[in-house]
Amino acid sequence: MTNPAKAVFLSYASQDLEAAQRLCSALRAHRIDVWFDQSELRGGDVWDRKIRREIQDCALFIPVISANTASRHEGYFRLEWDLADQRTHMLARNRAFIVPVCLDTTPDAGADVPESFQRVQWTRLPGGETPPEFIRRIEQLLSGEGHPQRQQPGGLRGWPRGYAHRAYGSRLRSLPRRPPPIS
């Protein structure tokens, strides 16, 4: 990975390795820097420290969600998810950071994921198959063009009309409003 500040961090359960590799390969094929533990960790690395640093420095965090993650109540991916969730508390609310990807029909409502994952729209990529529209969306987010508030009803800017509905379900969610300041 050449520039962590422009990189995507891919977090997944070990049972989803093949799908995560497909997603990683698709992103890298479009010259998107991806931090993927299978190719980034080297012998002798202090892996816990390196992973924490990469989550702190990455531009986007993609948690890969599936029936496998739902069935595992313990795993290192859960620590990665919590570290990313903690980082969202330091970011402006209009800054895209968490981009959840779901590999199957795992429902987003009631899923055992950090709260920040529930505030943003999930992308469904069955088996890790990655359509060009998803790649374009990641490129937009990395370039600063695709802020959450800029989403338009009925579709996402630059995406074919109806794609968001098919990919994301019947509704697009917006970020919750901040409460008024306490005097």
Domains in the chain, number: 1
- Domain-embedded: residue 58: yes
Rounded to 10 deg, the angle between the 76-88 and 47-57 helix axes is 30
- Domain-embedded: residue 143: yes
Contact, 122 vs 150, CB < 8 A?
no
- Domain-embedded: residue 157: no
pLDDT of the residue at 36: 82
In 3D space, the residue among 116, 98, 134 whose CA is nearest the CA of residue 22 turns out to be 134
Answer whether residue 83 shows pLDDT above 90: yes
Question: Any idea which of 20-29, 72-81, 170-179 has the lowest mean pLDDT?
Answer: 170-179
Per-residue pLDDT tens over the stretch 116-172: 999 999 999 999 999 999 999 999 999 987 655 444 444 444 444 444 434 444 333
- Domain-embedded: residue 169: no
pLDDT of the residue at 64: 96
Contact, 18 vs 128, CB < 8 A?
yes
Q: What CATH number did the domain enclosing 22 receive?
A: 3.40.50.10140
